[in-house]
Chains A and B, each alone.
Chain A
Amino acid sequence: MSDEISLPPIVDETLENGLQIILARREGVPLCAVRLLVRAGAALDPAGRHGLAHLVAQAARRGTARRSGREVDEEVEGLGAELGAGADEDASYFGLSAPSEFLSELIDVVADVVAGPTFPAGELSRIRRREVASLAHLLDEPGAVADRATIAAVFGKHPYGHPVDGRARHLAASTRADVTGFHRRWFGPRNAVLVVVGALDPAAALRLVRRKLGGWRSPAEPAPELGAPADPSREVVIVDRPDATQAQVRVAVPAFARASPEYFPALVANAVFGGGFTSRLMEAVRVNRGLSYGVRSRFAASRAAGFFYMSSFTKNESAAELVELLLSEAARFRDGGPTEEELERTRAYLCGLYPLALETHDQVADKLTEVALYGVDRDEVAGYRARVRAVTPSDCAEVARRHFPVERGVVVAVGPARQLEKSFARFGPVRVVSGKSLV
């Protein structure tokens, strides 16, 4: 296994209007993956308007000066593509992939939707109604409810602390002026990155992009840098579902941002602890006790901060036992770190599989987008294996010592409060909330 991972040849360019362009030519299937990212996400949602960035991304495709919403749909889908639009806490994304011969048409539509949406009032109202209605269905998915409650408990009032897809009340209150104002304030070439990967001629693609996006003008201001979240006090949040026969559980705590030097040690430590099928958590929870079908942990890292969480589910009767086990495994790992054998296996696993994460045009486009958004060094990709191999047992223990929720962190459960409340009191002060209070 060689050390270097090779990215395809990349052309980097910045247009006069400030738009950053990244093009990569790849052999393989005759498709192109296109991503246009705007550095403005849910963290910029104003107070009382949670979900606004998400709403803007959904509504942008519903009409421009040159196309109605239906025409956008028909044009994109007529080329064999589906336009994806959405936001996360740091950015808004517009992406699609389709046969390479349609690259010009694809970029034309994406540019039109991002740079020139008109937000027709009727379409905007409809999207707003649909998004509010979707939240009701979301409440019927216990795992999604648990994730939502976890974000809120971990980040509190930090701009990352509200769900990207918003709250029903806030969405319903969002006016057309809110939507156009958000777009005008943040959507501009200086805040945007265009990534195109696939079977393309870079020089021709660059000419094409210049033609389609070189005239984009907007005084958009850069998004402000955010601070780190405060550590939440230890608490237990139970989202009551009186009729559930299985409880979803999470244990979580704030952690570092994506560009942190802790990223690689944490990646490796987490892979040992709760990453794959042979992780400590999988062994303890599934293999040794048969408590759950799945258990995992992860460091989720965004631009300003991140969080670490453990996640699983089990029948109500064993929910407290499961949390107990998660906490004790976290403590054991924090105190002892990984064994040499575990670390060696995990390094081989991560290094061996990395090429699989860069196999398709879409995956490469997403990786280049991620690197650009979080401001990490692109050499991270080529040097991935060397960085993974450099992680030592004490690096892993240090990451766990700093970030694992043993005495800290929040415990979240979605299940019947009457049955869970008493047994969960041992983990901290319990707060019972309704599912509806989360949307």
Chain B
Amino acid sequence: MLRARRRHVPTRTPGPVLPLERVIAHTLPNGLRVRLLEERSAPTVSYYTFFQVGSRNERLGLTGISHLFEHMMFNGASKYGPKEFDRVLESRGGTSNAYTSNDLTVYHDDSASDALQTIVDLESDRMRSLALTPETLEQERQVVKEERRLRTDNSTFGLMEEQLESLVFLSHPYRWPVIGWMDDIERISREDCQEYFRTYYAPNNAAVYVVGDLDPRATLELIERHYGDIPSGPRPPPVCSGEPTQRGERRATIRFPAQAPALLAGWRAPEARSPDAAALDLLQTCLAVGESSRLRRRMVEQDEVVVSVSASYGWRIDPGVFLVFAEVAPGVKLERAERALWEELARVAAGGVSAGELRRAKRLLRSAVLHELSTHNGVAHALGQSEALLGDWREAGRTLSQYETVTARDVKRVAASWLDPTKRSVVVLEPEGVR
């Protein structure tokens, strides 16, 4: 998994869905933050480890190291050697995966609850003593190159997204892709990985979230016993996050053997902590979630210029990006699709949305949040994402009420201020001959 899009909404509804008051929060002397929630609804536990590092902490020459490193974390440590992590976990009825985003590297284990002790043992082992051998680095480098060929080099959306981010951001590290440039993937050395591990995988740069069928006190003791002796690391260097003002549209064309054209537009959008974030989520929902959303109705149903259109506003630590992606109907001129999109965005900026549209968007978001919080995994992820992006796991309990307070005027204001036509970036896919 690579892209951390807004599938996970860090929100909750008041009441029994997420009982924040029952979360046990503790910080170990070495800086590791631990948050535990007992939930007996299913005989399983979900165990998340959030490392506060992603592609935004990289520099040119080492782009993609966060993601490559995520792969390395499954290749053995001192107690559990190569190939053992997944084998041991699976033999106890568990499974594991991870993702890297622009901001974060996140590992999770889901299992039958009686495997919790094994998970703590496995996770603390790799945080303490990851083995970084030349052989496993070479092997993962090849695997990641295939992943890049899959998701970017042979994917029209992947190519367009990579191009768009480098238009929206001129100086911020968000301008390079999470998976990294191919040459950098090729170049990253074992020494780079070792230094990266010391800095970013120290307990003071991490937090553990455990939700499910567990005894909080015993679990905390277990974690203290296993992680307590891992030494703290240096303070990670600050991220250079400046970005010059954009003074006009930026545009790029991708010519690629494809069947049909496509359009990706993006605007620099505020960071997750911004007071505008909730209103932008509602704007995104009004624009492109559901058949009755504005862009789908206009572009797919009425004008039939595209076969699909979607909008996404991903919450990030630094100001991120608001995207609109459209698959243009074959035979339709790209300009027609573009014109319809700009008209609809101008209309929402000038006239806002109706009370009915806003109510619908709030209900859709509420359902999405309830779905998210209906699993141990979803709850653990929501707690972790809230702490990582908003600075406090308790924010997982506040977003839904923030959505409730957003007014139609707010939606109009954020549309007008953030989706400014003079500050947009546009990538178009022009198909070149295919058989």
Q: A28-B41, A345-B91 are in contact. Are A359 and B376 (CB under 8 A)?
A: yes
- Flag whether A315 is at the interface (Cβ < 8 A): yes
Interface size class of A (residues with CB under 8 A): 35 or more
Q: Most chain-A CB neighbours within 10 Å: which of B147, B256, B307? A: B307
Q: Is the CB of B144 within 8 A of A293?
A: yes
Q: Is the CB of A278 within 8 A of B304?
A: no
Choice from B90, B92, B292 contacting A346 with Cβ under 8 Å: B90
- Flag whether B240 is at the interface (Cβ < 8 A): no
How many whole Å from A253's CB to the nearest CB in chain B?
Answer: 25
Q: Is the CB of B304 within 8 A of A129?
A: yes
Q: Is the CB of A360 within 8 A of B375?
A: yes
- Flag whether A176 is at the interface (Cβ < 8 A): no
Q: Is the CB of A240 within 8 A of B435?
A: yes
Q: Is the CB of B90 within 8 A of A348?
A: yes
Q: Is the CB of A352 within 8 A of B146?
A: no
- Flag whether A428 is at the interface (Cβ < 8 A): no
Q: For chain B residues 138-176, which have a beta carbon within 8 Å of chain A? A: 138-147, 149-150, 153-156
Choice from B142, B156, B366 contacting A290 with Cβ under 8 Å: B142
How many whole Å from B233's CB to the nearest CB in chain A?
Answer: 28
Q: Is the CB of B374 within 8 A of A360?
A: yes
Q: Is the CB of A349 within 8 A of B147?
A: no
Q: Most chain-A CB neighbours within 10 Å: which of B289, B375, B377? A: B375
- Flag whether A361 is at the interface (Cβ < 8 A): yes
How many whole Å from B167's CB to the nearest CB in chain A?
Answer: 22
Q: A98-B367, A314-B146 are in contact. Are A244 and B154 (CB under 8 A)?
A: yes
Interface size class of B (residues with CB under 8 A): 35 or more
- Flag whether B17 is at the interface (Cβ < 8 A): yes
Q: Is the CB of A29 within 8 A of B91?
A: no
Chain A residue numbers with a CB within 8 Å of B101 are none
A117-160 vs B, Cβ < 8 Å mask (1 yes, 0 no) = 00000000010011001101101111000000000000000000
Q: A99-B370, A293-B144 are in contact. Are A353 and B435 (CB under 8 A)?
A: no
Tell which of B107-115, B202-210, B268-276, B406-414 binds the partner: B107-115
- Flag whether A434 is at the interface (Cβ < 8 A): yes
SS of A interface (majority):
mixed
Q: Most chain-A CB neighbours within 10 Å: which of B154, B256, B292, B327? A: B154
Q: Is the CB of A130 within 8 A of B300?
A: yes
Chain A residue numbers with a CB within 8 Å of B327 are 134, 137
Choice from A1, A344, A436 contacting B435 with Cβ under 8 Å: A436
Chain A residue numbers with a CB within 8 Å of B330 are 133, 136
Chain B residue numbers with a CB within 8 Å of A352 are 92-94, 111-112, 115
A349→B260 CA distance, assembly (Å): 43
Cβ-closest chain A residue relative to B292: A73
Choice from B87, B307, B375 contacting A359 with Cβ under 8 Å: B375
Choice from B110, B145, B367 contacting A81 with Cβ under 8 Å: B367
- Flag whether B298 is at the interface (Cβ < 8 A): no
A142→B154 CA distance, assembly (Å): 8
How many whole Å from A369's CB to the nearest CB in chain B?
Answer: 18
How many whole Å from B143's CB to the nearest CB in chain A?
Answer: 5
Chain B residue numbers with a CB within 8 Å of A434 are 435
Chain A residue numbers with a CB within 8 Å of B371 are 29, 31, 97, 360, 362
- Flag whether A10 is at the interface (Cβ < 8 A): no
Cβ-closest chain A residue relative to B138: A290
Q: A28-B41, A286-B143, A360-B374 are in contact. Are A348 and B93 (CB under 8 A)?
A: yes
Chain A residue numbers with a CB within 8 Å of B300 are 130
Choice from A78, A293, A359 contacting B363 with Cβ under 8 Å: A78
Q: Which residues of B contact A (CB under 8 A)?
A: 17, 41-44, 74, 83, 86-87, 90-96, 110-112, 114-115, 138-147, 149-150, 153-156, 256-260, 262, 289-293, 297, 300-301, 304, 307-308, 327, 329-330, 356, 359-360, 363-364, 366-367, 370-371, 373-377, 434-435
**Additional pairs, 16, CB under 8 Å, beyond known A241-B257, A244-B154, A278-B87:** A1-B114, A30-B17, A31-B371, A70-B297, A74-B360, A78-B356, A80-B364, A130-B307, A137-B259, A242-B257, A276-B90, A290-B141, A315-B145, A349-B91, A352-B94, A353-B111
Show 21 residue pairs from A and B whose CB-CB distance is below 8 angstroms, ordered by the A residue.
Answer: A28-B374, A29-B371, A77-B292, A78-B360, A79-B363, A80-B363, A97-B367, A99-B363, A133-B307, A136-B259, A242-B257, A245-B154, A278-B87, A287-B83, A314-B146, A348-B90, A352-B115, A353-B93, A353-B94, A359-B375, A360-B371
Q: Which residues of A contact B (CB under 8 A)?
A: 1-2, 27-31, 70, 73-74, 76-82, 97-99, 126, 129-130, 133-134, 136-137, 139-142, 240-246, 276-278, 283, 286-288, 290-294, 313-315, 344-346, 348-349, 351-353, 355-356, 359-362, 434-436
